[in-house]
């Protein structure tokens, strides 16, 4: 098949990780990103000739710009750049590159690949770099040891800053009941999945441990992993001080860890440029792409599923003209296990599938560098595809929010025309919410967490009278009730709900 010379290709991929060991310097995130960019440019095999052709540098939004302003001092205690992409460009030899600063959320890397690939296909730009980084491990280390640095920067120039767009991360009803963070909300989705499967707590934790055991094995062999220490399945599933309960059913070993110093970068250009530089043999092609978004968590028909994620995976495969059995490898977003399960369901994969389901080692063991994780996944897939001695395909799933936004890319080491755009399905709310429930209800899901020497339980249920969904907390003064949530299995149980500033659940008489 003769491809158009404007066909976009991925030509370079690079990563950089700085651990808190004897080689530690303490680089700020933009310096980490610049190192990954240099490695990605070198990986093209034509760095010197390609650098003047780079017309865009897109930086995936960093944590320091992805939180409400009151939280910025906690996330960026040493200051932050007013434009990370411009600060990164000061480190690089890219004289013609304009700066893009993406929105927040983990689906952005794959969306940027498609956006910038489309611009290359239209002939608007010749080449682009996508990068991102986080240095939270260094920031926390400096705070702990009393080191003072200045990471602020006000670089000159224009930036296409798209804003954080983090409204989907906040839900008034969850927030009213003390659920603000992923560690509060993802466990509620996970417990809902357990209810659908009809598994008891021990059986489900065994599934979680087996899944994460697969991820740990990959991270243990990955030189860029931040947390590569080997863990057995038994260690992963055993609660102990080093593997504490984060939010039932998740232990620390099962969830993303953001204390990383990691960066990654991709270089895109056209097939014609790659051929003119004599490096077209290094090209990786995007065969399929699709994206989709969910309504707010409490408006979804099933808490433990994501119709949008299922659509994105299946539509990306259809866009590529492939079926899931043709895939040789996958990197499935793994901030919490539920994200992996939903993706595996979409692909028809099981725990016993011999194909890789992660190429990095996942966010709990490789590390969770914020919104930029899936750039690492694409980097690893590019290198995996280059190592194959036959036509091969792989898939990367990028997830944002609480299974809220998804972008999926199907990649191959064989030439293909750039995929046509796939319309995103409409976002439709399917479940009504009641803010002040009355009377009996049924527990749909919950999570239980330790707070010091106390226990709290956040509960989602349905009002029996009209099936509307509500949020509540377990009565904090009822030790027997809290023990039931902590040690028993309240899924599907009938309870009484008392409305108030925070709705309160009590056991039915």
State the average pLDDT over residues 71-89.
97
Q: How many residues does the chain have?
A: 509
**Residue 324: CB partners within 8 Å, gap ≥ 6?**
317, 347, 348, 349
Are 278 and 50 contacting, i.e. CB atoms less than 8 angstroms apart? Answer: no
Strand order of the sheet with strand 393-400? 285-293, 405-412, 393-400, 329-332
Dist CA 64 CA 186 (whole Å): 22
Q: How confident is the model over 407-457, as pLDDT tens digits?
A: 999 999 999 999 999 999 999 989 999 999 998 999 999 999 988 888 999
Read off the pLDDT band of 107 (50, 70, 90): very high
Within 163-261, residue ranges assigned H as helices are 172-176, 182-197, 201-220, 233-237
The helix or strand, by DSSP H or E, that contains position 16, with its residue range, turns out to be: strand 8-17
Dist CA 150 CA 78 (whole Å): 5
Question: In Å, how far are 100, 151, 265 from 154, measured between CA atoms?
Answer: 15, 10, 23
pLDDT, residue 372, reads 98
What tokens appear for 202 in the block?
């021990």
Domain 439-507 CATH (choose: 2.40.50.840, 2.40.50.100, 1.10.10.60, 3.40.50.10580) = 2.40.50.840
State the average pLDDT over residues 306-327.
98
pLDDT, residue 452, reads 81
The bridge status of strand 54-59 relative to strand 98-101 is: parallel
Are 460 and 298 contacting, i.e. CB atoms less than 8 angstroms apart? Answer: yes
Rg (CA), the chain: 23
Three-state SS letters, 133-176: EEEHHHHHHHHHHCCCCCCCECCCCCEEECCCCCHHHCCHHHHH
State the average pLDDT over residues 113-124.
98
Dist CA 150 CA 28 (whole Å): 9
What tokens appear for 92 in the block?
């690089």
Q: Which residue has the tokens 């040690």?
A: 487
pLDDT, residue 168, reads 86
What are the start and end residues of each CATH 2.40.50.840 domain in the chain?
A: 439-507
pLDDT over 80 (residue 355): yes
* CATH superfamily, domain at 8-168+257-412: Thiolase/Chalcone synthase (3.40.47.10)
pLDDT over 80 (residue 493): yes
State the average pLDDT over residues 352-373.
98
Dist CA 335 CA 330 (whole Å): 15
Are 94 and 68 contacting, i.e. CB atoms less than 8 angstroms apart? Answer: no
Burial class (CB in 10 A: 0-12, 13-18, 19+), 178: middle
pLDDT over 80 (residue 96): yes
pLDDT over 80 (residue 201): yes
Dist CA 214 CA 351 (whole Å): 9
Burial class (CB in 10 A: 0-12, 13-18, 19+), 424: middle
Q: Name the residue among 488, 484, 494, 482 with its Cα closest to residue 443.
A: 494
Dist CA 426 CA 433 (whole Å): 20
The helix or strand, by DSSP H or E, that contains position 358, with its residue range, turns out to be: none
Q: Which residue has the tokens 């992993």?
A: 225
First CA to last CA distance, the chain: 72
pLDDT, residue 474, reads 97
493 forms beta bridges with none
**Mean of pLDDT over the chain:** 97
The helix or strand, by DSSP H or E, that contains position 452, with its residue range, turns out to be: none
What are the start and end residues of each CATH 3.40.47.10 domain in the chain?
A: 8-168+257-412
Higher-scoring residue by pLDDT: 460, 451: 460
pLDDT over 80 (residue 376): yes
What tokens appear for 376 in the block?
């690492």
Q: How many CB atoms lie within 10 A of CB 95?
A: 9
The helix or strand, by DSSP H or E, that contains position 61, with its residue range, turns out to be: none
Within a 13 Å sphere around the CA of 492, how many CA atoms are in the beta-carbon half? 9
What tokens appear for 177 in the block?
């009941």
Dist CA 357 CA 337 (whole Å): 12
263 forms beta bridges with 16, 133
Are 476 and 498 contacting, i.e. CB atoms less than 8 angstroms apart? Answer: no
pLDDT over 90 (residue 284): yes
What are φ and ψ of residue 27, in 5° steps?
A: -75, 145
What tokens appear for 39 in the block?
């490695």
pLDDT over 80 (residue 1): no
pLDDT, residue 381, reads 99
What are φ and ψ of residue 9, in 5° steps?
A: -135, 150
The helix or strand, by DSSP H or E, that contains position 43, with its residue range, turns out to be: helix 29-43
């Amino acid at each position: 098949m003769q491809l158009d010379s404007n066909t976009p290709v991925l030509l370079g991929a690079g990563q950089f990780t700085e651990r808190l060991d004897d080689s530690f310097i303490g680089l700020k995130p933009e310096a980490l990103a610049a190192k990954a960019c240099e490695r990605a440019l070198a990986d093209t095999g034509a760095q010197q000739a390609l650098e003047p052709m780079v017309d865009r540098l897109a930086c995936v939004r960093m944590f320091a710009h992805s939180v409400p302003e009151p939280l910025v001092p906690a996330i960026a205690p040493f200051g932050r750049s007013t434009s990370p992409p411009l600060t990164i460009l000061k480190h690089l030899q890219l004289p013609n590159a304009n700066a893009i600063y993406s929105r927040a959320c983990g689906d952005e890397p794959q969306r940027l690949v498609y956006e910038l690939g489309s611009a290359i296909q239209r002939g608007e730009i010749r080449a682009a770099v996508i990068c991102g980084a986080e240095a939270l491990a260094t920031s926390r280390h400096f705070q702990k040891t009393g080191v003072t640095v200045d990471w602020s920067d006000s670089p000159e120039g224009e930036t296409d800053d798209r804003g954080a767009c983090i409204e989907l991360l906040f839900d008034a009803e969850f927030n009213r009941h003390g659920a603000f963070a992923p560690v509060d909300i993802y466990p509620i989705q996970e417990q809902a999945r357990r209810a659908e499967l009809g598994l008891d707590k021990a059986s489900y934790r065994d599934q979680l441990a087996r899944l994460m055991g697969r991820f740990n094995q990959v991270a243990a062999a990955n030189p860029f992993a931040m947390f590569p220490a080997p863990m057995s399945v038994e260690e992963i599933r055993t609660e102990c001080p080093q593997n504490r309960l984060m939010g039932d059913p998740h232990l620390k070993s099962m969830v993303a860890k953001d204390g990383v110093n990691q960066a990654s970068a991709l270089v895109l250009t056209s097939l014609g440029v790659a051929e003119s530089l004599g490096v077209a043999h290094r090209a990786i092609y995007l065969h399929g792409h699709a994206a989709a978004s969910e309504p707010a968590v409490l408006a979804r028909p099933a808490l433990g599923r994501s119709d949008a994620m299922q659509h994105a995976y299946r539509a990306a495969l259809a866009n590529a003209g492939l079926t899931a059995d043709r895939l040789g490898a996958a990197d499935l977003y793994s901030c919490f296990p539920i994200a992996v399960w939903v993706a595996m369901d979409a692909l028809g994969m099981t725990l016993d599938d011999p194909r890789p389901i992660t190429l990095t080692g996942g966010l709990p063991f490789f590390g969770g560098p914020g919104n930029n994780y899936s750039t690492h996944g694409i980097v690893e897939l590019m290198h995996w595809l280059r190592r194959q001695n036959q036509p091969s395909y792989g898939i990367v799933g990028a997830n944002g929010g609480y299974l809220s936004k998804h972008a999926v890319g199907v990649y191959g080491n064989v030439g293909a025309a750039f995929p046509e755009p796939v319309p995103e399905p409409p976002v439709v709310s399917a479940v009504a919410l009641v803010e002040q429930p009355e009377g009996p209800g049924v527990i749909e899901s919950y999570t239980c967490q330790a707070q010091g020497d106390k226990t709290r339980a956040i509960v989602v249920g349905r009002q029996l009278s009209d099936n509307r969904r509500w949020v509540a907390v377990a009565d904090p003064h009822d030790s027997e009730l809290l023990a039931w949530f902590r040690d028993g299995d309240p899924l599907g149980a009938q309870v009484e709900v008392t409305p108030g500033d925070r709705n309160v659940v009590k056991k039915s008489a």
